[in-house]
A and B are shown apart, each in its own frame.
Chain A
Amino acid sequence: MKPGNIIRLIVFVTLILFLAKPELFSGFFSLFTKNNQPAIYNQGSLLDITLNHLGIVLAATAASTIIAVGLAIIVTRPFGAEFLPLSRSLANIGQTFPPVAVLALAVPMLGFGTAPTLVALFLYGLLPIFENTLTGLTNLPPAVTDAAKGVGMTGWQRLIKVELPLALPVILAGIRLSVVISLATATIGSTVAARTLGEVIIAGLLSSNTAFVLQGGLIVGVLAVLIYDALSALERYLMARTGQLGRAAA
């Protein structure tokens, strides 16, 4: 096993252990407390909160993926080609909306709680996936798409059998970006009462308890790094399988 993977395994096991038995780590976290503050978050199970956090991110990313890939497919077909330039500009403009603003503006329509967070994560997650799917579908090697036409594949067959499989690693890179952004952005959801790890961090900020801020931040950071690495590995595998390791994107 490569040293990198050993480190990842150790980090993963430590994370699981911490979530299951946080009190084992209270010695470490009490280094960051003052005046006998609790060292471990005590207003709910860290495991539950983490699973809820992951659930929100997963649901939002799944929805973003379906819609973004679908939209990208539509605008790259002859039927939707008219919308291609506009969709590019919109994706570009969409990135100028800060997540907090999206979150805050979703509250009047959806009330407090998980719903506005889901919507904000969904909207914010759309952009990287949409952009990468576009890149993937429009930057295919022309020789391959030509050959697919040449052997007499229909538009659908080309999409399903050639274009999407070849674009898959690039699309996956978009999903990876989207997941990492969402993992961090979901913490902000706690400002509108969503049950995410932001709750732990905000509790720490309100009571000046650095231990809470640190454990909330560490769990999110470690999750992000592990998921990022896992998805990167999957991309490399897919790239190698389709023999296009050279044209990595994003």
Chain B
Amino acid sequence: MSIADTAHATTRPAWLALDKLGVLIALIAAAGAILPFALFRANRIVVGKPKSLLEALPSFPSGLLIGILLVGVVIALLRFPVTAKLAAGFAVLAALMIFIGQSASYLTPEGDTFARVSPGAGFWLLLFAFALLVTDALTRLRFKPLIRIAILVAVIAAIALLLWSGSWNSLSILKEYATRAPAFWAEGRTHLALAFGSVAIATVIGIPVGILCYRVKPLRAGVLNVLNIVQTIPSIALFGLLIAPLAWVAANIPGARDIGISGIGAAPALVALFAYSLLPIVSNTVVGLQSVSPAAIDAAKGMGMTGRQRLFAVELPLAFPVILTGIRIVLVQNIGLATIAALIGGGGFGVFVFQGIGQTAMDLVLLGAVPTVALAFAAAVVLDALVELTSRGSRRP
């Protein structure tokens, strides 16, 4: 099939033609419709009973959801305008989100506090299929950065509304949450403190180090090589190796213990995350400064700017988007890596992931993994938008 085959179909309306991605989405959705929509378990750890789309909901909502899915698949399959596809994709995702909650309430026997209902493979596949549709539409529409952030905020608000309304309360992941609510928020705060704190410290130290490496050429290769080697040490090893030196610091340096430094816990995790953050920030600072056009620097010198004026008025503003890209990489990476901190008692959402692995309780793993992925995703969207907003002056479309 080539472009020529589809181009001469002038007698039909433009939307009446197959979309290749639509075919892929339809296939995934079909598989999703066949596989179990939800899993029912009599208690937390027994093997689940699969429930198909027809069994997981009462007949009317079940029919309604199937109808919505069919409309969604048809819109995805044909060449409708991208905005229509985006709207359809969001609508189907919203329907899936609402109905999985309904399904959980429907499947849980009245008053049974042990029974667990969790989304099945079919639900995840349907979610994936229409997430593809939405992602493709959003990519094609190339929204401006602020609009992208607005969409993100709207999605977060919609999910918050679902959580607040209680319509998901019968889902197993929220039952895990219900028994651990205070711990969840405490670990969440630790997770954020670890990820953002380490990036903040790395930014404050990394940018000046990057500037120094840029100005003092002989320093560059050495510093970057050392930071490169730090990156190759596996995270759990680096976390572990920092335990002993920090314990020594806590024991021997007056005041260190009072500001929270100790061998185990958050301190080695923070130091390790900081160490991993340095390379991308320092090297992006160097690369960003190097990529400033020599003509602009020559003009700045020629017009009588001092070294400091040149740095703050020309070099750093022009390098800023590249530096911010480094911070974005590190922030997304550290939100993920902070889960490892749980292995050395550092806290964070990893606590639930590793507890879940230990108890083979996947709902508990999800309780740790879902917020981590959501945080990383939101951070990536926001920082990508910021990078684009700050790269004014470059030729980016």
- A and B directly contacting (CB within 8 A): yes
Q: Please tell me if the beta carbons of A216 and B237 are within 8 angstroms of each other in the complex.
A: yes
A82-B21, A101-B369 given as contacts; is B139 within 8 A of A96 (CB)? no
Closest-by-CB residue of B relative to A99 is: B336
Cβ-based interface call for A180 (8 A)? yes
In-complex Cβ contact of A224 among B135, B136, B232, B380 (8 A): B232
Give which listed residue, A96, A198, A208, contacts B380 with CB less than 8 A. A96
How many residue pairs bridge A and B at CB < 8 Å? 147
Q: Is B1 an interface residue (CB 8 A)?
A: yes
Give chain B's interface secondary structure class. Answer: helix
Query: Residue among B140, B237, B372 with the most chain A CB within 10 A?
Result: B237
* Residues of B359-397 contacting chain A, CB below 8 A: 360, 362, 365-366, 368-369, 372-373, 376-377, 379-380
Whether A32 contacts B244 by the Cβ 8 Å rule is: yes
Instruction: Report whether B240 and A217 are in contact in the complex, using a CB–CB cutoff of 8 Å.
Output: yes
Chain B positions within 8 Å of A32 at CB level: 244
Establish whether residues A105 and B369, one from each chain, have CB atoms under 8 Å apart when the complex forms: yes
Given the known A-B contacts A79-B1, A191-B354, A225-B232, are A213 and B365 also in contact in the complex, defined by CB atoms under 8 Å? no
Give the A interface residue count (CB, 8 A): 50
Contact of A101 among B138, B231, B339 (CB under 8 A): B339
Q: How far is the CA of A205 from the CA of B350 in the complex (A)?
A: 16
What's the tally of chain B residues with a CB closer than 8 Å to chain A?
Answer: 50
Which of the residues A101, A183, A204 comes within 8 Å of B234, measured between beta carbons? A183
Does any Cβ of B come within 8 Å of A107's Cβ? yes
Which residues of chain A (175-209) have a CB below 8 Å from chain B? 180, 183-185, 187-188, 191-192, 197-198, 201-202, 204-205, 208
A108 B362 Cβ-Cβ under 8 A: yes
Chain A binding surface SS class: helix
Q: Is residue A230 contacting chain B, with contact meaning CB distance below 8 A?
A: no
Would you call B229 an interface residue if the criterion is a C-beta within 8 Å of the partner chain's C-beta atoms? yes
Q: Are B339 and A213 in contact (CB under 8 A)?
A: no
Tell me, in angstroms, the Cα distance from A191 to B239 when the chains sit together.
15
In the complex, the answer to whether A188 meets B233 with C-beta atoms within 8 Å is no
Q: Mark B149-168, 1 if CB is under 8 A from A, else 0.
A: 00000000000000000000
| Inter-chain contact A96/B373, CB cutoff 8 Å | yes
Contacting pair A184 B372 (CB below 8 A): no
Q: Does B98 contact A (CB under 8 A)?
A: no
Residue B235, interface by CB 8 Å: yes
Determine if B337 is an interface residue (Cβ-Cβ < 8 Å): yes
A98 at the interface (CB under 8 A from B): yes
- Across the interface, do A100 and B135 meet the contact criterion of CB distance under 8 Å? no
Tell me if B234 and A198 are in contact (CB < 8 A).
Answer: yes
Known A-B contacts A105-B365, A105-B369, A225-B229; A213 and B240 likewise in contact (beta carbons under 8 Å): yes
Nearest A residue (CB) for B229: A225
Which has the most chain A C-beta neighbours within 10 Å: B140, B234, B235, B353?
Answer: B234
Q: Which of A93-117 contact B (CB under 8 A)?
A: 93, 95-101, 104-105, 107-108
Chain B residues in 8 Å Cβ range of A210: 240-241, 243-244
Chain A residues numbered 216-250 whose CB sits less than 8 Å from any CB in chain B = 216-218, 220-221, 224-225, 228
Q: When chains A and B are docked, how far (Å) is the Cα of A86 from the Cα of B339? A: 29
- Give which listed residue, B241, B373, B379, contacts A217 with CB less than 8 A: B241
Q: Which one of B3, B19, B234, B339 lies within 8 Å of A201 (CB-CB)?
A: B234
Q: Are A96 and B377 in contact (CB under 8 A)?
A: yes
Instruction: Determine the distance from Cα of A213 to Cα of B268 in the docked complex, in whole angstroms.
Output: 14
Is A220 a contact partner of B372 (Cβ separation < 8 A)?
no
- B377, closest chain A residue (CB): A96
Q: Least Cβ distance of A6 to chain B in Å?
A: 16
User: A25 near B: Cβ within 8 Å?
Assistant: no
Contacts of B366 in A (CB 8 A): 105
* Bound complex: CA A98 to CA B353 (Å): 12
- B332 and A83 within 8 A (CB): no
Check if B344 is an interface residue, CB within 8 A of chain A. yes
**Which residues of the other chain, B, contact A208 by a CB distance below 8 angstroms?**
243
| Cβ of A92 under 8 Å from chain B | yes
Q: Find residues 116-161 in chain B having any chain A CB closer than 8 Å to their own CB.
A: 132, 135-136, 138-140
Q: Is A90 an interface residue (CB 8 A)?
A: yes
Q: Knowing that A80-B20, A191-B343 are A-B contacts, what are 13 other residue pairs whose CB atoms are under 8 Å apart, sorted by A's residue number?
A: A82-B21, A86-B135, A96-B332, A96-B336, A96-B376, A98-B376, A100-B336, A101-B369, A104-B365, A105-B369, A202-B343, A217-B234, A221-B232
| Chain A to chain B: the 10 pairs with minimum beta-carbon distance, closest first | A98-B336, A217-B237, A224-B232, A213-B240, A101-B369, A184-B234, A96-B376, A187-B234, A86-B136, A85-B139
Can you name 11 A-B residue pairings with CB atoms under 8 Å? A82-B21, A86-B132, A86-B139, A93-B377, A100-B369, A101-B368, A183-B232, A198-B234, A202-B343, A210-B243, A221-B233
